[in-house]
């Protein structure tokens, strides 16, 4: 029941904040101006990610365990969102974004201890990956998934929809 409550609160917060943040998008210089690669013809606010982050953070801070892993996921998420916000405003180069993503992944792995230790049925039962292999594999997976979602963020709501479907399947 706590998962459903968390989902509904997160959804409600996000839905309330998006229209509110849209009114401030011009002042924040968070508008997507159409260009040759755009699918829209008029400027669109780019504040959905901030609203979703707040919608995610409030329930997580209220109900998640107060342990290093939960804290590292929140910190890593904030690094990625901050990077995305600056990218939207200043068009960061790929190197800066890549370094930021690696830092966020390292926070989760080194501070939070979240590492891929097993490959399930791909390896014989009981085989545990050593840290020297687990750390780079985990960073690679986190950065890879981050970029996969980022690449799907060209259409309004596509990245959020894909992420929601993945979250539902994992749940």
- Pair 25, 31: CB distance under 8 Å: yes
In the predicted model, what is the mean pLDDT of residues 64-75? Answer: 92
State residue 101's pLDDT score. 96
In the predicted model, what is the mean pLDDT of residues 88-95? Answer: 86
Give residue 101's Cα distance to chain centre: 10
Query: Would the pLDDT of 166 be above 90?
Result: no
pLDDT digits (tens, 9 = 90+) for 40-60: 778 888 888 889 899 999 998
């Amino acid at each position: 029941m706590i998962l459903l409550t968390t989902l509904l609160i997160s959804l409600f917060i996000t839905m309330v904040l998006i229209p509110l943040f849209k009114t401030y998008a011009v002042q924040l210089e968070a508008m997507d101006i159409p260009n040759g690669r755009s699918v829209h013809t008029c400027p669109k606010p780019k504040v959905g990610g901030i609203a979703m982050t707040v919608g995610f953070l409030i329930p997580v801070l209220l109900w998640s365990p107060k342990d290093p892993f939960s804290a590292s996921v929140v910190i890593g998420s904030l690094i990625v969102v901050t990077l995305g916000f600056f990218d939207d405003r200043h068009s960061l180069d790929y190197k800066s974004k890549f370094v930021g993503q690696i830092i966020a992944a390292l926070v989760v792995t080194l501070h939070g201890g979240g590492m891929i230790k097993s490959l399930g049925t791909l390896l014989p039962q009981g085989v545990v990956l050593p840290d020297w292999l687990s750390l780079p594999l985990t960073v690679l997976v986190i950065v890879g998934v981050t970029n996969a979602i980022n690449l799907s963020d060209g259409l309004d709501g596509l990245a959020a929809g894909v992420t929601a479907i993945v979250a539902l399947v994992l749940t």
